[in-house]
Structures are given as structure tokens and as C-alpha cells.
Amino acid sequence: MKLFSNSSSLNSRAYYFYQKIQIQFFSTTPTRTRSSKKRSSSLYSKISQVGDPNLSMVPVLDQWIGEGNDTFRGELRRVINELMVHKRFKHALEVSLWMTNKRGHPVAPFDVAVRLKLIFRIFGLDQLENYFNKIPENLRTYHVYLALLNCYTMAKSVDKAESIMQKARDLGYVSKAIWYNLMMNLHYQLGNKEKLSDLLIEMEAKGISYDQFTLSVCLRACAMASDEVGMDKIVRIMESDPLVNVHWQTCVIAAEGYLKMGLIDKALVILKKLEGKLTTSNKSNILFVFLLKLYAEAGKKNELYRVWNLYKQNGNVVNRVYISMMRALMTFGDIEGTEKIFEEWESSGLSVDFRIPNFLIDAYCTDGRLEKAEELIAKGISKGGDPVAITWCHLAGGYLKKSRVPEAMEALKKAISICPTKFKTKDSLITCLEYLEKGDKEKAEELIKFVRTRGISREVASDETCSLIKDVEFQSCEENLNSEGMFASEDEYINDNGNIDRVST
């Protein structure tokens, strides 16, 4: 069966990668170049309603055409991009294939690159390589090799990544920082500091300027190695190189690196520069979140309140920043200050979000003020809020401290019921089982049985009581706001300019 042909009758010779969907590379239909963001938004709004990955996109796309609409390649690429951002890889591949199979848009190297990434995410390396080996030489261009390298680095396949990197060098493609960013991130994740240095030396020898992603990987590598001299060198480049447009996220990584090494004064200098980006950033809420977090880690409570008051002057107060401020205050053990911020939030009229009272619920349960914790939970529920799993975990811990075991069990059952598939080992669950093991093995078995029925335990041992639960996964469903993975460790895909775009999580 031929996989590639210049004939217009390709449908009879398609290669199947995704169920019965055809992947093909050529068509005789002319390309349409016009596009419309408004139309793309309307098409995506229809596609986004199909949330089940097992359902096909094809009927939705066919219906769109049947209603008298048309689709242009740029429009469909934007839809594919949105689907990738939301990690709907199967649907993105379907749209890409429909674009060429049914709408007759010729496949460009960029489309092949996107499909490589999607095939890797859906089927893995074997199918990726099978697909790549059948790509005609005339389509194996810059974008395609870059996408293949991207996949190998995500798979942490060092030998294959280095082989493709060398092939790209030989073809003259390695002329931008993005190639080095991918390889440096791979070696950073594997702790190969010498390889990082070699790549930087090669960039300098070829006159390839660092970009913000290069700087980010280097900063994180220096922080991991507690390399103050290296950190200082990268920061100087950030400050002095006019060709480098330093993103605020890069500043966050630099500040975190200095804080990790205990270099508070150097971190504070970075934080002041970070504040200067508030007026130019379109992500000011997120930037405030990190400023609050980092000033708290630096132990600067006065600066924390100064930034908080600066934030409130904007008038656009959101729950996420309240969460960050309360978390920051709890690093100081400042329950009174947290209570005041909570009162501000209550009077703000924002939507009920149990992540906000959770800080106080945890504190009250820890110091034995169960009545206040119960009161906060009841108040939140009365306002239409839904406690999250960690809310009930906090309460269970408080009940155990008071030897109120039956109530602790009920609280834990509620936690497990809310978030059964995301639980990791939680002290309150283990403590409850250990406590019951000493006095009431029947109740311990009851709780273990409940955990099993919720599908939480990966592997349940044959031993009784507490030991049965050691492999149970149990984690908070709370949002974990930090900068780990904000750059190269996040999902990436290649855009039209050959740069890395980030997939938000």
C-alpha cells in the first residue's frame, strides 16, 4: 500500500494512524489564504462542546459545511492550536486530517510537524517514527525536524534527540535558539550540566543570541547546582543584552533561584525589577500572585502587605490573588492577618471558593478550634459553595486530635467521594487507620473497603488494617500555584515562526 502519491485520488491509498482516519500529504485543490478570527471562534465554539475524546469531530465539521459555512486553512490551524492548548490531541489530529482529506487543503511541512507532535502524544514514539519514515524528503523541512526533536526531548530520549540535532545541523537548520532550548531543557531535566555548557558555547560560537527560554533553562540549572556565579552571569545578560526581551516569568525563575540559595538581597533586587513589569504585563493578576509568594519566601512581611495594597488599588481583585495572599500570610503563621484578609474577601462579593476559607479551616483544626472550622464550612455551603477534598481532610485531622473517630471517618469518606482519582497518601487517612487498628479493626476495615470501592488504591496488600492503605494515592485538589514547569518542562508545540508555544495547564 502506497502512502504518498502525486495523484489526486489519494483517498484510496491512505495510511491509518488514528482509528479509520486517513493521513495524507497532497491534494490538487488550491489553498485559500483568507481567514477570519470571528469565524474561527464560532467554529471552535461548536467543536469545544464535544468534550468526550472518544467522540469524533468529523460530524461537527461536516455539519458546519452543510450549514453553508466555509473553512480556510488558517482558520482550521487556529482551531487545531486551541485544541492542543487544551490537550485535546485526538480531536486536533482529526481536524488536521479533515482539513486535507475532506477540504482538499494541501499539506504543508508545518502541518506535518503538527501531526508528528499529535501522533507522539496519542500513540507514542513507535508510531511517531513509523510516520516520520514515510514522509517524503521534500516535506522534511525545518519545521518537521524541529517537531521531531521536540518529541524526542519530551520523551527524554537522549541518543535519538542528539542524532536528530546533528542531522539538523548538517542540513543547516540549527540557526535559532529554539533548537538549543529544547536540548538544554532535556539535559537540565537529566542533570547533565556539562552538556548544557557545551550547548551554550556552541551558541556563542555561532553567534546565536540567547532568548528568554535559554535564560530560563540556564537559571534553573544554576539554581539546581547552587551556582551563584552562574546565576549572576545570566542575570547580567538579562540586564545588559538589548536583543533579549526578558519576560516576567524569567525574572520569577531568577528570584526563585536566588531564594533557593539563600541569597535574599539578590532576590529582592530581581523582585523590584519584576514589579516594574506590572504596567506592561497583560497577566498582572498572575504576576501579583508570584510577587506575594516570593516576598513571603523572602521573609519580607512588610513588602508583602505593600504589594497587596498596590494590587487592591487596581480595583480588579480576584479569588486567585486572595488565595496567594492568604497562603503567603500562613507562611508567617499569621492567623490574625489571614482572618482580616478573609473578612475582606467575604465583603468583596466574589464567588464562593472553598480554597480561600481552607487556610483558616486548616489552622482552626490544627489548634483545636473545631467549632470555628465547622462554622466556616457551614457558612460556605449555605452560600452555595462546595467544599473540596482537602476541606474534609482538614476537618478529619481536627476530629482525630479530639478522638472523634466516627466523625473523622465521615469526613474522610466525603473527601474520597469528591476527588477519588487524585488522592495521594494523606496523613489523616493513615492516622485514622492506625488509630482504628488499635481500638476498632472493624471500622478500619470499613474505611478500607470504602477506599477500594472508590477506585483509589493502585494496589492493595493482603495485610489487614493500616498496611492495606499504604499504596493509596491521596492528594489535595487545591490549585498549586508555582513556577515549576512554566517554561521548557511544560508541553510545547511549534508555531509558524519556528518558536515554542506553551500549552497551559
Is 236's pLDDT higher than 70? Answer: yes
For position 221, what pLDDT does the model report? 92
Is 253's pLDDT higher than 70? Answer: yes
Lookup result for grid cell 471562534: 41
Region for residue 485 given its phi and psi (left: phi exceeds 0; alpha: psi -120 to 50; beta: otherwise): left
Burial 301-334 (b: 16+ CB within 10 A, else e): bebbbebbeebeeeeebebbbbbbbbbbbbeeeb
For position 460, what pLDDT does the model report? 33
Same fold, 141-277+485-505 and 356-469: yes
Residue 399 near residue 411 (C-beta atoms within 8 A): yes
For position 232, what pLDDT does the model report? 95
Lookup result for grid cell 484510496: 12
Of the listed ranges 96-100, 109-113, 146-150, 323-327, the least confidently predicted one is 96-100
For position 429, what pLDDT does the model report? 59
| For the ranges 217-221, 243-247, 281-285, 438-442, the one whose mean pLDDT is highest | 217-221
- Is the pTM value of this prediction over 0.85? no
For position 453, what pLDDT does the model report? 58
For position 421, what pLDDT does the model report? 53
CA separation for the pair 472, 455 (Å, rounded): 10
Q: For residue 292, give Cα distances in angstroms to 271, 302, 315.
A: 10, 11, 17
For position 127, what pLDDT does the model report? 94
Closest by CA to 289, choosing from 279, 302, 300, 274, is 274
Between residues 255 and 104, which one has the greater pLDDT? Answer: 255
Of the listed ranges 51-60, 154-163, 231-240, 364-373, the least confidently predicted one is 51-60
Of the listed ranges 2-6, 93-97, 341-345, the least confidently predicted one is 2-6
- Mention every residue, 6+ apart, whose C-beta is less than 8 A from residue 23: 14, 15, 16, 17, 97, 115, 131
Region for residue 455 given its phi and psi (left: phi exceeds 0; alpha: psi -120 to 50; beta: otherwise): left
Neighbours of 225 (CB within 10 A): 14
- Mention every residue, 6+ apart, whose C-beta is less than 8 A from residue 185: 153, 217, 487, 488, 489
- Mention every residue, 6+ apart, whose C-beta is less than 8 A from residue 322: 341, 344, 345, 348, 350, 356
Q: What are the start-end ranges of the E strands in 333-387?
A: none
For position 314, what pLDDT does the model report? 77
Of the listed ranges 276-290, 389-403, 486-500, the least confidently predicted one is 486-500
Residue 168 near residue 146 (C-beta atoms within 8 A): yes
Arithmetic mean of pLDDT over the chain: 78
For position 116, what pLDDT does the model report? 95
User: Which whole number is the average pLDDT over 232-244?
Assistant: 85
pLDDT band at 255 (very low <50, low <70, confident <90, very high): very high
pLDDT band at 285 (very low <50, low <70, confident <90, very high): confident
Of the listed ranges 162-176, 295-309, 446-460, 480-494, the least confidently predicted one is 480-494
CA separation for the pair 168, 149 (Å, rounded): 9
Give percent above pLDDT 70 in the chain. Answer: 74
Residue 215 near residue 250 (C-beta atoms within 8 A): yes
Per CATH, is 356-469 categorized as 1.25.40? Answer: yes
| For the ranges 167-171, 451-455, 464-468, the one whose mean pLDDT is highest | 167-171
For position 355, what pLDDT does the model report? 93
Q: What is the separation of C-alpha 155 from the centre of its chain, rounded to a whole number of angstroms? A: 17
Neighbours of 181 (CB within 10 A): 27
For position 9, what pLDDT does the model report? 30
User: Which whole number is the average pLDDT over 206-213?
Assistant: 91
What the block records as the C-alpha cell of 142 is: 525545518
DSSP 285-331: HHHHHHHHHHHHHTT-HHHHHHHHHHHHHTS---HHHHHHHHHHHHH
Where exactly are the structural domains of the chain? 1-136, 141-277+485-505, 356-469
For position 8, what pLDDT does the model report? 30
pLDDT tens by residue, 344-401: 999 998 999 999 999 999 999 999 999 999 999 999 999 999 998 889 988 988 988 8
Is 447's pLDDT higher than 80? Answer: no
For position 495, what pLDDT does the model report? 44
Q: What is the separation of C-alpha 141 from the centre of its chain, rounded to a whole number of angstroms? A: 29
DSSP-assigned beta bridge partners for residue 343: none
Between residues 278 and 23, which one has the greater pLDDT? Answer: 278
CA separation for the pair 243, 47 (Å, rounded): 40
The H or E element containing residue 397 is helix 389-401
Of the listed ranges 142-151, 233-242, 481-490, the least confidently predicted one is 481-490
CA separation for the pair 62, 57 (Å, rounded): 9
- Mention every residue, 6+ apart, whose C-beta is less than 8 A from residue 395: 361, 365, 370, 373, 374, 377, 411
Closest by CA to 45, choosing from 31, 67, 24, 60, is 60
Is 338's pLDDT higher than 60? Answer: yes
Lookup result for grid cell 466556616: 376
What the block records as the C-alpha cell of 404 is: 472523634
Is 449's pLDDT higher than 80? Answer: no
Q: What would the CATH number be for the domain defined by 141-277+485-505? A: 1.25.40.10
What the block records as the C-alpha cell of 267 is: 532576590
For position 100, what pLDDT does the model report? 84
pLDDT band at 428 (very low <50, low <70, confident <90, very high): low
Closest by CA to 276, choosing from 243, 301, 310, is 310
pLDDT band at 502 (very low <50, low <70, confident <90, very high): very low
Helix 441-453 and helix 405-418: axis angle, to 10°? 10
Region for residue 263 given its phi and psi (left: phi exceeds 0; alpha: psi -120 to 50; beta: otherwise): beta
Residue 386 near residue 420 (C-beta atoms within 8 A): no
